[in-house]
Chains A and B, each alone.
Chain A
Amino acid sequence: MRENHPSTNSEDDHRSSLLDLARAEITESSNSKSRTCGGFPGPGSGSGPSEPQAPFPDQVLENVLENVLHFLSSRRDRNAASLVCRSWYRAEALTRSELFIGNCYALSPTRVTARFTRVNSVTVKGKPRFADFDLMPPNWGAHFAPWASALAQAYPWLEKLHLKRMIVTDADLALVADSFSGFRELILVCCDGFGTPGLAAVAGKCRLLRVLELVESVVEAEDDEEVDWISCFPESQTNMESLVFDCVECPINFQALESLVARSPRLKKLRLNGFVSMAQLYRLLHRAPQLTHLGTGSFSATEAGAVVDQEPDYAAAFEACKSLVCLSGFREIWADYLPAIYPVCANLTSLNLSYAHVNADQLKSVIRHCHKLQIFWVLDSIRDEGLQAVAATCKDLRELRVFPVDAREGTDGPVSEVGFEAISQGCRKLESILFFCQRMTNAAVVAMSKNCPDLVVFRLCIIGRYRPDPVTQEPMDEGFGAIVMNCKKLTRLAVSGLLTDRAFEYIGRYGKLVRTLSVAFAGDTDTGLKYVLEGCPNLQKLEIRDSPFGDGALRSGLHHYYNMRFLWMSTCKLTRQACQEVAQALPNMVLEVINVNSEENAGDVEILYMYRSLDGPRDDAPRIVTILH
């Protein structure tokens, strides 16, 4: 018997979820009548065929309501609408077509399919982000299989599936391909567990497929299991608009790919893997000059020893792609080929060189044409000099990510506060930054906080742990403090360097909109974490590692945990005892304790992963995970 449970509240809707949980308590413990609009005594629960016919005016109201609610697309708005009264709850459930499930373990698939009956698009997210950094045991969970079977039964008309950090097997993909005849869009981000057989099933059976995007997913195959999935697409014209497979670590059948591209007139996005050479790219560009998003593949010549008198005019091929706005790839880049992209630089709004070892001079030759660039991902091989060039040209830059070539801790690196400050001076519209470096000063961070007030995402990773400001020897508290103080729109923050409790005091005091906070090797005492848990009402995702926060700090967040997507604390100072207390105080929280290196019943907690759940603890946890209740 289902009540109006908040099965699919987004991370934005903490307030309504708290109300819903409370209401769930009330309705479950008592036998009270449910509320309806207009004062009419409604049925006990749900809306089934047993419901007596409502009088005429109410029926009209419900129909009108459904029609109006169809226009609501934001899930936050829909969640709010579903709480108005039972009638609105029902109408909203009938009209929600896009489902977003931020944590696959927050509820069971059957709860979802029972409430929402007309869904055509589903997004499910699994593992927490720190799993990307090998902090979680590989068999931890987030299996898509139970969702696959539930969705297959409930929504045969399903068109779109978007999964992030889930384990997806070839069998799951085959089930998807078999179950949804109108299937159009499959997006897998940071997933693993599948290979080319699964892709072949989707390509072969989903005749209406428009979008197939594999993003940073691990797709490997044993040699004898590799399947030529590209050849499985329908032989007639396809509806393909987007084909992204740059993470697939298997060679592909190029002839089949070329033929596929040639018979896909609507193709706009094509991201090739590193097994596609420059010469092959050339041929594809001729087939698809209408592309808007291109991942160039290897961007090098990988054919063995063919003697070519003259290289094709790669620049001309690029020039013919008049609509190109987004460029990525360059997986094995030969810098000699860089000039080929000059003709398209002026139109680029997005450029991803983050897999290309490009030096400052090579970068300059490209970036000086890129006046419209808004998104730029790059390796620190371009050095401060390269960053200065970016700052000089890319006045419209909104998002910058600088990744390290060499991720080892050292005192000096190719990028520093010099390039960082140059960016802040030149790119005033910056909204999102991810910056890896070996050294950074408070002054530069303060400067950015003032020059770039529109910052929404600020992620600074000083690779050397506990590094102070190299000029003043002070902790980095003031820099991050300035960021939360001056960047009033900030919702996501990642801190690093030497940080005391003071930094967290700043975050608690000024970071009122912060939803995601990442902390590593920082803070002095429980007080630091307390500042954050007590001060940040919008906190949704908190991930902390290797910081001296303990039981007192954990307890200080009891009032807020139901509003969060999750709390992650690893190698902190938590004891099992305190976690047990929290589990008892908050019955709808699931506390997973994972002790990788110590015995099962050790007093100290290595990893605590905590999240709210409507359907209790999961039943697929491996032995290494202890669920407290």
Chain B
Amino acid sequence: MENSYEKELNLEATELRLGLPGSDESQKRSIVRSNKRSSQEVSEEECVSKGSDVTTDDHDQDNNVVPPAKAQVVGWPPVRSYRKNSMQQKKEEEGEGSGMYVKVSMAGAPYLRKIDLKVYKSYPELLKALGNMFKCTFGEYSEREGYNGSEYAPTYEDKDGDWMLVGDVPWHMFVSSCKRLRIMKGSEAKGLGCF
């Protein structure tokens, strides 16, 4: 389903725009409640909006209760520092490491986007997301001829600094080595190959 898929992409969260964080409350809340909401994806804006505990579902709100302070209480909830730290480490690693949040640019377009590669499980999912994001289509991928016949082709820069065609290596290897993505014109991408 397009709708929930887009929510899962966290498009709003990664969008670059002018405007105060938290200004798009209703949309953010729905993202917050999506299946993919896990610690590493929550952006700054969502952190703020989560502090206010108004929900969109049917249940009564807990409005007759001492509201919890926005600041975190020391040692609460009782999750061991050791466990909290491993979760924290994952958050940080994924922020800096190659293959997680990567910049996506498009030939001819004056803006950059960022996507989180961890959100996708396969190339078709990623390509669909990229297509939606940049309003373009890619043709059928084949090992020999790449994205033959399509106007655009997705490419990426790997750890070694080489530009490769998206789809040439197994998925998880791509995720671990991709530093950034670039949607090139089909003609530009013709020269790229595996090695």
Q: Which residues on A are within 8 Å of B, measured CB to CB?
A: 130, 132-135, 190, 216, 218, 247, 300-302, 304-305, 307-308, 311, 331-332, 334-336, 354-355, 357, 359-360, 381, 383, 403-412, 414, 436, 439, 461, 463-468, 470-471, 473, 494, 498, 518, 520-521, 545-546
Contacts and interface: CB of A to CB of B under 8 A. Distances in A.
Q: Which of B38, B59, B74, B77 has the most CB of A within 10 A?
A: B77
B176 A132 contact: no
A520 B78 contact: yes
Contacts of A466: 65-66, 68
Contacts of B121: 335-336
Contacts of A520: 76, 78
Nearest to B160: A305
Given A134-B81, A407-B84, A305 B173 contact: yes
Given A404-B79, A470-B59, 5 more contacts: A302-B176, A308-B170, A468-B65, A470-B62, A520-B76
Nearest to B60: A470
Nearest to B33: A412
Contact of A130 (B35, B65, B75): B75
B55 A411 contact: yes
A192 to B, nearest CB: 9
A311 B62 contact: no
Contact of A468 (B35, B64, B79): B64
A412 B55 contact: yes
B173 A307 contact: yes
Nearest to A311: B170
B84 A410 contact: no
B83 interface: yes
Contacts of B72: 408
Contacts of A409: 53, 68
B64 A355 contact: no
Given A133-B75, A407-B84, A465-B73, A471 B50 contact: no
Given A311-B170, A405-B87, A412-B57, A468 B62 contact: yes
A305 B177 contact: yes
B84 A216 contact: no
22 contacts: A133-B74, A216-B80, A247-B82, A304-B177, A307-B169, A335-B121, A354-B83, A357-B38, A403-B79, A404-B77, A404-B79, A411-B61, A412-B55, A461-B77, A464-B68, A465-B68, A465-B76, A468-B65, A471-B60, A473-B64, A520-B76, A521-B76
B86 interface: yes
Contacts, number: 124
B103 interface: no
A258 B80 CA distance: 31
B74 A134 contact: yes
A607 to B, nearest CB: 11
A359 B37 CA distance: 10
Given A133-B80, A403-B79, A470-B60, A408 B50 contact: yes
Contacts of A300: 172
A222 B42 CA distance: 31
A410 B53 contact: yes
B38 A355 contact: no
B35 A359 contact: yes
B190 interface: no
B81 A132 contact: yes
B62 A467 contact: yes
A135 B75 contact: yes
A302 B87 CA distance: 18
A334 B61 contact: no
**Residue of A332, A408, A473 with highest tally of chain B CB at under 10 A:** A408
Given A331-B86, A468-B64, A498-B65, A405 B57 contact: no
A408 B160 CA distance: 39
Interface string B19-54: 000000000000001011111001000000010010
A130 B90 CA distance: 25
Nearest to B65: A466
Contacts of A311: 170
A540 B57 CA distance: 43
B159 interface: yes
B159 A304 contact: yes
A248 to B, nearest CB: 12
A305 B178 CA distance: 10
A134 B75 contact: yes
Given A305-B160, A355-B86, A405 B38 contact: yes
Contacts of A411: 53, 55, 61-62
B171 interface: yes
A473 B55 CA distance: 16
A39 B82 CA distance: 57
Contacts of B171: 336
Contacts of B78: 132-133, 461, 494, 518, 520
A308 B75 CA distance: 45
B61 A190 contact: no
Nearest to A336: B172
Contacts of A332: 90
B9 to A, nearest CB: 16
A408 B39 CA distance: 10
Contacts of A305: 158-160, 173, 176-177
Contacts of B57: 412
B42 A406 contact: yes
Contacts of A308: 170, 173
A494 B76 CA distance: 14
A483 B69 CA distance: 30
Interface string B78-108: 1111111011001000000000000000000
B176 A301 contact: yes
Contacts of B37: 406, 414
Contacts of A247: 82
A133 B33 contact: no
A81 B169 CA distance: 70
